Chains A and B, each alone.
Chain A
Amino acid sequence: MKVKRGFQDFLKEVRKNWVLFLMLVPAIAYFIVFSYVTMPGAYVAFVNYNPNKGIFGSDFVGFKNFEFLIRNGDLVKITKNTLLYNGVFLLLSHMIQIVLAIMLSEIMNKIFKKISQSVILLPHFISYVVVGVFAYNFFNFDNGFINSLLVNLGMERISFYSTPGVWKYIIVFFYIWKTTGYGMIVYMAAITGISSEIYEACYIDGASRFQRIRYVTLPLLKPTFILLVLFGLGGILRGSFDLFYNLIGTNSLLYGQTDIIDTYVYRSLVGSFNFASSAAVGLYQSVFGLIFVMVINLIVRKVEPESALF
């Protein structure tokens, strides 16, 4: 009864405001086709996918696809890698962003400030493919920049592309390199938002600049920091696919320490057309990702209700 009335109200509203509804249709249609229609398609993780039979016509196999991934250890490995990388990314990048944002806001020379801010933001604008080119430029065995330096210094060449151990540092470096500018600007906006009266009071009380940063700026940045880190934690199962894929690509020598959920999903599909593994890992990521966001949102609502997502 109630549903029916609601639907009638809706129709009435559509008739009255049909132009507005019509203007919203393209966006809604887009999300229905590309997001909502694919959601039930996640069922593909539970079947033995046969392209001729389609997703819902293929044979149901239950959790077999997941069992396989757990038994061969892949799921544990990529989950661990994803969590570790994202954990390091989160902590390190926010620390660096905060330090740089504070330092930049302490700089009085306007030209220096503007140019350095632009330069630090520049990496955000280029594609990760170009980051892959940079890595090649630096690290390739025969003529990479680092190896030619090493040779000039009379040292042995390092075969980076067959040494798994070094890539975690390279990946973290390029992550910081590419994302710092973006985060730094968010923090600079937060610093600009700090009332100048507080700074005046500091001056009158005779605080040094260092004391002002330590006792005023940093504590006032804390809420922003906590919120950003919490939201970052919500996406901790989602990796920076672009970064990892363009640095590592299909170099299986390096997978042990560099394979994350997203690269695994992509490679299973594109490399070997293993729909079962790809879909199973993808669903695992979506479901646990959603749970993470829910939990984080609960926490945020406790800490600062106004910033909660929903």
Chain B
Amino acid sequence: MGQGKKESIPATRIRMGKSNRMLSIICYVVVGLFAAVCLFPFALMITSSFMTEKEIVSEGYKLIPKEWTAAAYTYLLDNPKKLLDAYKTTILITVVGTVLGLVIMSMAGYVLNRKDFKYRGFFSFMIYFTTLFSGGLVPTYILYVRYLNLKDNIWAMILPGLVSAWSIFLMRNFMKSIPDELYESATMDGAGPFTIYLKIFMPLAIPSLATVGLFLALGYWNEWYNASLYIDTASKYPLQYYLQKMINQTSIEALTNAGHVIDAGMVPTQSVKMATAVLTTGPIILLYPFVQKYFVSGLTVGSVKG
């Protein structure tokens, strides 16, 4: 039915009058240009990381260097401790945060999805209200540092993004299509609520789990904010915070302070900055083609109201 309809809209295909063709060309050109603008900074960053320090200092970052070198990467691989520490922290908070967040939020989404759960309206609003009003940064900071004692603790980077009202509602709405009869018949067969969650809800929820898991993982991978608030020890810095600190350093001394062993001679400071950025972003770019569709489906779920 849907297919037959698609074939019967030839407006865009057959009737290619002069103005239509113009429009078509404009579309290709504008979209193509915008895509190029989106891609350009990535390209510049990557080629800059392969430039020689001499060329950067004398002529600045360029899209097409005269001379290509992997010196920055060799340098980073020779002094990998800081970067590896940051990778370790980031992977740890990403894995722990994503798994824990998914467990907590899928259970909440499941309970709020069950129409026989009497207080779901009340609890939904309770969760929703947190998106409308918050105590603000200072009370949160005091809570973490003074009452929970999480200063310089790795949990200070995991807890803040762990559970979000938005993701719980996304999960709940995603599952609205599950008919109540499914729960009822499973209950008749003697399955308890938790068994139903594990055996029926979770398998059906895989697409929404993928979407929410992706949001979580992305948030943790890109985390720097809570690290800047709570983390003092350099070996506990996550990747993005490590990168931010590094970019803001201008001199070689600062690089030494960040824990790099500086030999005599030229350190490729400027290209190292770009190479570090490439290495911290690389995994996202590599995974991007595979995860994009979950992201897009998460975006188009639609209403997320409480």
Contacts and interface: CB of A to CB of B under 8 A. Distances in A.
A282 B138 CA distance: 8
A286 B133 contact: yes
B228 A196 contact: no
B142 A30 contact: no
B299 A286 contact: no
Task: Classify the secondary structure of A's interface with B.
Answer: helix
A48 to B, nearest CB: 13
B62 A39 contact: no
A137 B306 CA distance: 43
Contact of B60 (A20, A148, A310): A148
A127 B240 contact: yes
Interface string B152-192: 00000001101101001000000000000000000000001
Interface size class of B (residues with CB under 8 A): 35 or more
Contacts of B168: 27
A123 B36 CA distance: 12
Nearest to B61: A145
B11 A20 contact: no
B244 A41 contact: no
A44 B142 contact: yes
Interface stretch (B72-80, B202-210, B257-265, B269-277): B269-277
Given A26-B108, A41-B139, A100-B31, A212 B60 contact: no
B300 interface: yes
Contacts of B256: none
Nearest to B13: A108
Contacts of B289: 118
Interface in A27-58: 27-28, 30-31, 33-42, 44-45, 49, 51, 54-55
A23 B277 contact: no
B266 interface: no
A278 B296 CA distance: 37
A293 interface: yes
Contact of A185 (B27, B107, B299): B299
A239 interface: no
B149 interface: no
Given A122-B38, A130-B243, A185-B296, A38 B146 contact: no
B139 A120 contact: no
A23 B136 contact: no
B305 A266 contact: no
Contact of B31 (A116, A132, A209): A116
B86 to A, nearest CB: 12
B19 A208 contact: yes
A246 B244 contact: yes
Interface in B19-65: 19-20, 23-24, 26-28, 30-32, 34-35, 37-39, 41-42, 44-45, 48, 56-57, 59-63
Most buried by A among B30, B61, B119, B228: B61
Contacts of A10: 119
Interface size range of chain A in the complex: 35 or more
Contact of A132 (B44, B108, B126, B244): B244
B200 interface: no
A138 B41 contact: yes
Contacts of A148: 59-62
B143 A38 contact: yes
A128 B8 CA distance: 45
A7 B162 CA distance: 30
Nearest to B193: A19
- The DSSP consensus for interface residues of chain B is helix
Interface stretch (A71-79, A86-94, A197-205): A197-205
A49 B228 CA distance: 22
B62 A145 contact: yes
Interface centre among B41, B193, B288 (most CB of A within 10 A): B41
Given A41-B139, A310-B306, A126 B45 contact: no
A39 B277 contact: no
A269 B277 contact: no
Contacts of B38: 119-120, 122-123, 177, 180-181
A196 B11 contact: no
A51 B143 CA distance: 12
Contacts of A212: 11
B183 to A, nearest CB: 11
A219 B228 CA distance: 46
11 contacts: A20-B193, A26-B103, A51-B146, A120-B38, A133-B274, A137-B61, A145-B60, A180-B34, A209-B12, A282-B137, A286-B133
Interface of A: 10, 13, 17, 19-21, 23-24, 26-28, 30-31, 33-42, 44-45, 49, 51, 54-55, 99-100, 103-104, 106-109, 112, 115-116, 118-123, 125-130, 132-134, 136-138, 142-145, 147-148, 151, 177, 180-182, 185-186, 189, 196-197, 199-200, 202-203, 207-210, 212, 241-242, 246, 249, 265-266, 269-270, 275, 278-279, 282-283, 285-286, 289-290, 293, 307-310
Q: Which 7 A/B pairs are nearest by Cβ-Cβ distance?
A: A148-B60, A41-B139, A282-B136, A38-B135, A127-B222, A27-B108, A203-B11
